[in-house]
Structure 1
Amino acid sequence: MSVTNERRKIAIREYLLRSGSAKVSELSQHFNASEATIRRDILELLRESGFKKFRGGIAVDDTNSELSFAQRSYLQSDKKRRIGRKAAELVRDGETVFLGSGSTVLEVAKNLTTRRNLTVITNSLPVITTLVESPGVDLVVTGGALRRPELSFIGHIVGKTLSELRADKVIIGIQGIHPESGLTNDFLPEAVLDRVLVTFAPQLILVADSSKIGKINASAVGGIEDIGWLVTDTSIDANFLNGLRKHNVQILIADE
């Protein structure tokens, strides 16, 4: 394969990680290449883990556990940045807040670097590195076994640490939110920790882009009634929002 073709495939991969999906015609126009060429590129990308085909295009398989944290950070990245800024508005100086793992929660952490007298408890390595040089933020790290795809610490050590701590708020992401099935995750050891976190603080704040709405994963975490706040984007379904409000869930929409 020529260097030009290899660079185009890398660029297509990055484009998909940012947008989530694309049709052949869209990629052809964006990269100024024939649709036949794009189809060949797609066939090669499909040999990798993390991508799936749909009629007329290709999409990121965001349920694939082999996607790295960096790759998942690209997914819905604009929405995640806006959600992170919005969710940070719920955090007050002087509070103690637990920040979970995941790329959307990391965006929250990026908006807390200049806070004063804030205590952050976390099991997320990226959150630690983001806040480690913030003089107004006291960091408490849970310890545990490192889960490399998520760059998070999990296991019984985390639960034991949390049993000796308290927090005003918990901010976590979630892989699935469904009206009947509630909150779900696809990795059982992490779901076990999430169940602890749901009841760890008086107020649970979920940060989740609209692609998580309606999804059901294998491991149950909690019910809709456990959510205090949901911070999401403008693409969320209006009927689902109305259902959440019936469960007294507060909604924050991160505008464009």
Structure 2
Amino acid sequence: MILNPRQQELLEWVQRAGHATVDELAQHFGVTPQTIRRDINQLADERKLQRVHGGASAHSSVENVAYSTRQVLCSNEKEGIARLVAEHIPNHASVFMNLGTTSEAVARALAHHTGLRIITNNTHIAMTMCHYRDCEVILAGGVMRPKDHGIVGEATIEFIRQFKVDYAVLGVACIEADGTLRDFEMREVKTSTAIMAQARHVFLVADHSKFGRPSLVEMGHLRQITALFTDRHPGEAMATVLNDCNTELYVASDALPNDGD
């Protein structure tokens, strides 16, 4: 299912807030309740959210939405974030890249770099980047997850600990108001924390829907992150947290050209 802009924003709202009523969605989008109910029914049929009485709710904090849904959710925003990250990674760099569709967008944005050495547990990234000019891809071993073909487990962590790289590019499910980072699955979190420990610079990539989203497993804190790349300014409170953590902030919308130039 290809989402129209209203359906994508509706899905982001529900994922971020956890629940939304038909009436508030209809008022926000300026459409009839019947139109919103049709959107909810279509998204529920695609298992992207859950129908509830009078509205819609997100899936629980213990399980991420389907990989196919994450591929289309905030896709333009992820591409903008990825282009900005690519500007901060030089040629001839070594880079860890973890699971996640935003990390995959960064992989695509690095297509014109040369001399990269990529270490990843993300098979989609490995298949994308192995065709790049003068780019060596090292794929971690371990247990492959059927839902997204990510590789996790103790063997993956032991493999990662063999390397010390220039940069890590990490996706995340949730950034809480106090700077705590969370994700959904223990094995994935352990892999990401191992990657953070083995990188000189850690770049966190997260679109606006990840702020305050409910997730179960603690992955770390913004104080462990060199720079956060996102698509919108996260607000004054989060800016204060970032400043306290000495974490740089890069916003993709700030990098867009001015139409008046």
**Structure 1 residue runs without a partner (length 5+):** 1-9
CA contact (8 A) 2:161 2:194 kept: no
Deviations 1:33-61 (A, max 9, x none): x7536525634643663314589765764
Q: Give the match for residue 72 of structure 1.
A: 70
Alignment TM-score, normalising by the size of structure 2:
0.81
Moved more, 94-103 or 66-75: 66-75
Instruction: Identify the match of residue 86 of structure 1 among 63, 81, 84.
Output: 84
**Structure 2 residue runs without a partner (length 5+):** 14-24, 257-261
CA contact (8 A) 2:62 2:215 kept: no
Moved more, 93-102 or 175-184: 175-184
In structure 2, do the counterparts of structure 1 residues 233 and 182 end up closer, same or farther at CA, with 3 Å as the change threshold?
same
**Aligned partner letter, 1:206:** L
Return the structure number with greater relative CO, CA threshold 8 A, min gap 6: 2
In structure 2, do the counterparts of structure 1 residues 118 and 19 end up closer, same or farther at CA, with 3 Å as the change threshold?
farther
Moved more, 93-102 or 48-57: 48-57
CA contact (8 A) 2:116 2:136 kept: yes
Deviations 1:86-142 (A, max 9, x none): 111111111100111111011100011121111111111111121121122111111
**Residues of 1 paired with 2:194 and 2:179: CA distance?**
18
Instruction: Identify the match of residue 155 of structure 1 among 153, 156, 161.
Output: 153
Displacement of 1:77 after TM fit? 1.2
In structure 2, do the counterparts of structure 1 residues 146 and 13 end up closer, same or farther at CA, with 3 Å as the change threshold?
farther
Query: What does 1:36-55 align with in structure 2 at a 5 Å threshold?
Result: 36=34, 39=37, 42-43=40-41, 45-46=43-44, 49-52=47-50
Instruction: Identify the match of residue 20 of structure 1 among 11, 14, 25.
Output: 11
Residue 144 of structure 2 is aligned to residue 146 of structure 1: yes
CA contact (8 A) 2:61 2:214 kept: no
Q: Give the match for residue 222 of structure 1.
A: 220
Query: What does 1:25-36 align with in structure 2 at a 5 Å threshold?
Result: 35-36=33-34
CA contact (8 A) 1:67 1:149 kept: no
In structure 2, do the counterparts of structure 1 residues 229 and 66 end up closer, same or farther at CA, with 3 Å as the change threshold?
closer
Instruction: Identify the match of residue 117 of structure 1 among 111, 115, 118.
Output: 115
**Aligned partner letter, 2:129:** L
Displacement of 1:251 after TM fit? 0.9
Alignment TM-score, normalising by the size of structure 1:
0.82
CA contact (8 A) 2:48 2:69 kept: no
Q: Give the match for residue 7 of structure 1.
A: none
**Aligned partner letter, 1:104:** T
Q: Aligned residue pairs: how many?
A: 243
Q: Give the match for residue 5 of structure 1.
A: none
In structure 2, do the counterparts of structure 1 residues 142 and 11 end up closer, same or farther at CA, with 3 Å as the change threshold?
closer
Q: Give the match for residue 3 of structure 1.
A: none
Q: CA RMSD in A?
A: 2.9
Q: Give the match for residue 259 of structure 2.
A: none
CA contact (8 A) 1:114 1:136 kept: no
**Aligned partner letter, 1:251:** L
**Aligned partner letter, 2:205:** V
**Residues of 1 paired with 2:38 and 2:113: CA distance?**
49
In structure 2, do the counterparts of structure 1 residues 191 and 17 end up closer, same or farther at CA, with 3 Å as the change threshold?
same
Q: Give the match for residue 131 of structure 1.
A: 129
